[in-house]
Amino acid sequence: MSTCLRTLHAGATAVARQRTMRRKAVAAPKTAAIHSDLRTLAESLRDTPSAGSPDGQLSNRQLFARLQPDAKTVDKLDMLQLGTEKQGRFERKKWFRYNEPNVKLPHMSFFAGAQAEASFPPASLPEVGFVGRSNVGKSTLVNKLCGSTAARVSDRPGLTQQINFYTAASDFHLVDMPGYGFAYAKDEERQAWKPLIESYIRNRKTLRRVMVLLDARHGIKVNDRDFVALLDRMRVKYQFILTKCDLVHRVDLAKRHLLVSREAENLRNCIPRVMMVSAHGDAGVNELRKELLHTCSLGQKYLADHRKKEVIALTEYEEQLKIFKDTARAKKRRQSLRLGLLATRTHSARTHASLASGVFRGRYTTSTRPLAGGAQTWEAANAKNPAFAIERELEGPKSRKREIGLFVAVAAVTWGLGTVIAFNYQRMTSTPVTAALFIARHNDEVRRELGQQLNFTSVFPWISGDISHLKGFVEIEFDVVGDKGVTGRLVLKSRRVGNQSGEWKTVDFYIVLPDGRQIDCQQD
C-alpha cells in the first residue's frame, strides 16, 4: 500500500515539475531580458561583490535588493513625502514638512469621447495623452491634476473603454485612453482599443507628449516595453510616470526610479525624467502639473509667481532640514557615546562595528556595518572624529562575582519564603485546623469568654506546629479572636491509635486566654 502511494506521489511530482518547466520555458524569453537588464545594472552599481553566491544564481528580487538607490532621489522623495517610510525609521514628517506651493490648474470638463477615428474632435489645443496598463491609475491621475471628478474611476481594470478628451479652460486637453493588458472587457472590444490608440497617437498633430504610466510596485512590464517600442517607431515623445507611489516603501521607490530611469535613457524618444506621483495623496502631483504646463507651453501663464513662492518654501525647508540633521546627528552621537561605554565593557565586536558605522555614516539609523574605511579597531575608526573624544578614562571590564552572589542570595531567600508561605497556607486550610475552629466556635464557654464569631486573628494567620497523617499526629497552635475582641491561643494535640487505619484520639484541645486561664474545648 505504502509503495503504491509512494509511486503515485512520485508520478504526481514529476508531472508538476514538467508543467513548471514548460511554463518557465514559455516565460523565459520575456523574463530573461528583464533579468539580464537587472543583472547588468546591479553589477554596474554594486560596489563589493558578495562572497559565496555567484551572481548568475541571484533572483530578480535579490538583484533589486542589491541596488543602491541614488541619495539625491531619496532626499527628493523625503522632501515630497513620496513613498512610505519604513517602520522604525526616524520620522521626519513629525518634525517639519515641505510646504509645497500649489500649482493650480483650471477647471477640467469632459469634452469628447471617441471609439473610432472619425469621432476624434478637431485638433485645436495642445494635448497630453495618458496611457498605461489597465488599472494603473490613468483616470485617477487626470482627475487629480485638475482637482476634478470628471473621469470615471474603478478598481476593476478596463473601465475606460474609449479615448476621452477633457478640456481645461480651453487652454489644453488631457486625453485619457483605455489601458492595455488584462481588462474586464470583451475580447473584440479590447482588440479594437490598440489600433484606436495607435491611430490617435500617429495622426494627432497637437499631441505634445504621451505620458506612459507605470505602477511603481511593478515597474516596466513586457506590454509596456512593447508599447514604448511602438511609440519609438512612431517618433512620438513620451515620458514615464510611476503611479501609486503611496504603496511602495521610499527606498524601494528610489530603486524603482533608478531602474526605470536607466531604461528610459536608452529609449530613443523617451524623456529620461521619470516622474513619480501618488494620486491618493498630493505627493508629486505639483511637479507633474508643472511638467504638463511646460509641455503645453503654458508655463508663463500659470507659473508666473510660482517660482518665487517655491524658492521661499525651499529655503525654509532647507533651513529646517539642516536643524533636523544637526539634532539627529547630536542624538546619534549621544547614543554612540553610550554604545562606546558599553563596547568597552563588553568588548563586543558587533557593538564596536555599530558604533563606528554610526559615527562615519553620520546618519540617524543604526546599522552593523564593518568598521569605516577598513579600520581595524574602533579607536582607528574614530580617530578623526572629535565628537567622540571621551575625556575621562573608561572603566575596564568588571568582575561580576559580587552581582552573581547577590542574585543567588536573593533567589534563595525568595524561594525559602515562598515555600514557608505555601506550607502555612496548606496547614491553614487543612481539616484539623478548620474542624478545631468550628468546634471551638460552638463551645458555650468560649462563646461566653470570647464572643460569638470566633475566627483567626488575621487573614493569613500563622499556624505553628505540625500535621502528619503519615506518622499519625497533629500538634498545632494558632491565635483566635471572638467578636468581643478578646484573643486566645487555640492548642490541639491529637494522636492516632494503632496502625494507619486506627482511630484518632484527642490528647489536648483548649484555648489559652490572655490571663492564663484555659478553656477546655473537648467537653461538647
Ligand X SMILES: Nc1nc2c(ncn2[C@@H]2O[C@H](COP(=O)(O)OP(=O)(O)OP(=O)(O)O)[C@@H](O)[C@H]2O)c(=O)[nH]1
Q: Give me the residues that bind Mg ion (CB under 5 A), please.
A: 138-139, 160
> What is the spatial distance between Cα 182 and Cα 193, in angstroms, rounded to a whole number?
12
Q: β-pairing, 238-243 with 270-276? A: parallel
H helices of 270-400, in order, are: 285-295, 299-302, 306-346, 349-361, 378-382
Task: Give the C-alpha separation, 424 to 390, whole Å.
Answer: 57
**Location of C-alpha cell 516622474:** 275
- Taking the C-alpha atoms of residue 229 and residue 249, their distance in angstroms, rounded to an integer, is 29
If the CB atoms of residues 218 and 280 are measured against ligand X, the closer one turns out to be 280
Q: Which is nearer to ligand X, 244 or 306 (CB)?
A: 244
Location of C-alpha cell 479615448: 163
Nearer of residues 178 and 432 to ligand X, judged by Cβ: 178
140 contact, one of Mg ion, ligand X, none, CB 5-8 Å limit per kind: ligand X
Q: Minimum CB separation from ligand X for residue 177, in Å?
A: 8
- Minimum CB distance to ligand X, residue 45 (Å): 28
- Identify the bridge partners of residue 79 per DSSP, sorted by sequence position: none
Helix (H, G, I), strand (E, B) or coil at 55: helix
C-alpha distances out from residue 501 to 97, 100, 138, 495, 496, Å:
87, 94, 93, 12, 9
Report whether 519 contacts 509 (CB < 8 A). Answer: no
CB of residue 306 vs ligand X: minimum separation in angstroms? Answer: 23
Residue 158 or 488 with smaller CB distance to ligand X? 158
CB of 187 to Mg ion, least distance (A): 19
Task: Write out the residues near ligand X by the rule CB under 6 A.
Answer: 132, 134-140, 153-155, 157-160, 178-179, 183, 243-244, 246-247, 278-280
Instruction: Pick one of Mg ion, ligand X, none as the site partner of residue 134 (Cβ within 5 to 8 A by kind).
Output: ligand X
Instruction: Kindly state the smallest distance separating residue 103's Cβ from ligand X, in Å.
Output: 18
Least distance in Å: CB of 285 to ligand X?
9
Counted residue by residue, the chain has a size of 524
Rounded Cα–Cα distance for residues 266 and 139 (Å): 28
Residue 160 CB, nearest distance to Mg ion (Å)?
3
Nearer CB in complex with Mg ion: 81/160: 160
The partner residues of 494 in beta bridges, in order of sequence, read 474, 506
Closer by beta carbon to ligand X, 140 or else 354 = 140
- Positive or negative, the Cα torsion across 508, 513, 516, 520? negative
The x, y and z cell numbers of residue 85, run together, are: 517610510
Supply φ then ψ for residue 52, to 5 degrees: 100, -75
Q: What is the dihedral of CA 233, 234, 239, 242, to 10 degrees?
A: -70
Q: Which is nearer to ligand X, 193 or 510 (CB)?
A: 193
- Per partner kind, with CB cut-offs from 5 to 8 A, the member of Mg ion, ligand X, none near residue 121 is none
Please report how close the Cβ of residue 277 comes to ligand X at its closest, in angstroms.
Answer: 6
